[in-house]
Amino acid sequence: MPPQLLVVGLGNLPHPNTHHSIGHVIVDVLAARFGIHRSINRSVGGFKGHSDILSFSDDIVSLTLFKPKLLMNIAGPSVMSALHNTVKLPASMVIIHDLLDQKVKVLLVKLKGSANGHNGVQSVINALRANADFYCFRIGIGWDHAVDPANYVLPDMPLDGLLHWNSVSLDRVCHELARITLRNRTI
């Protein structure tokens, strides 16, 4: 059986293509790149798609993409349902979310740890309770401290920001997914 990976994009469906929904944006771009059709899955509360793909490390990977339908700050139960209905192990799950205080377009990868003040990630940690050993892809959105955070994260991203995640940076995301897949094989 190929290694399994669940990639969850955090965001808010009513606010697509915003800094705050960068997790949704990246999951959409991954779906387009790998030809993964997603549809609403009521049992897990979001949009889910799956395919065995040849990618990352020239190996077959069982990839599931998920976008919770619930607002980001209360998405934890949906993410937990998607986890239990797919890969089962938190170490095979990646949560993609925005990070206010990081330079724009920077990707930071983290395993375990705290929510770092992110309410969506905290919701996932709360839903999983003690077993929060999942990966986070923290995407820098370059907040200007002179602007109220809500006024920064909710307007549409500039076109260059959206295009950025369709090219070089998506390759970086795929590279990091390959590293996780290889690491999980050795566990």
Distances (CA, A) of 77 to 7, 44, 73, 83, 187: 15, 8, 11, 10, 27
Question: d(Cα 175, Cα 57) in Å, to the nearest integer?
Answer: 8
Report the pLDDT averaged over residues 37-58: 87
In DSSP terms, 137 is beta-bridged to 96, 109
Question: d(Cα 17, Cα 30) in Å, to the nearest integer?
Answer: 15
Note whether 65 and 38 are within 8 A (CB).
yes
Residues 19, 20, 24, 118: which is the catalytic one?
20
Question: d(Cα 175, Cα 36) in Å, to the nearest integer?
Answer: 18
**Range from 26-35, 50-59, 148-157 carrying the lowest mean pLDDT:** 50-59
In DSSP terms, 110 is beta-bridged to 136
- Name the DSSP letter for residue 37: -
- How deeply is 28 buried, as exposed, middle or buried, from its count of CB atoms within 10 A (0-12, 13-18, 19+)? buried
> How do residues 77-131 score in pLDDT, each as one tens digit?
999 999 999 999 999 999 999 998 888 888 999 998 788 889 999 999 999 986 7
Note whether 79 and 120 are within 8 A (CB).
no
Rg, Å, the chain Cα set: 15
Taken as a whole, the chain contains a residue count of: 187
The class level of CATH for 4-185 reads: alpha beta
Look at the block and give the residue holding tokens 């993609």.
Answer: 96
The reply to whether 20 belongs to the active site is yes
pTM: 0.94
> How do residues 68-79 score in pLDDT, each as one tens digit?
999 999 999 999
Sorted by where each begins, the domain ranges of the chain are: 4-185
CA dihedral (145, 161, 94, 151) positive or negative? positive
Token output for 57: 């490390």
- Would you give the end-to-end CA distance of the chain in angstroms? 15
Question: d(Cα 106, Cα 183) in Å, to the nearest integer?
Answer: 22
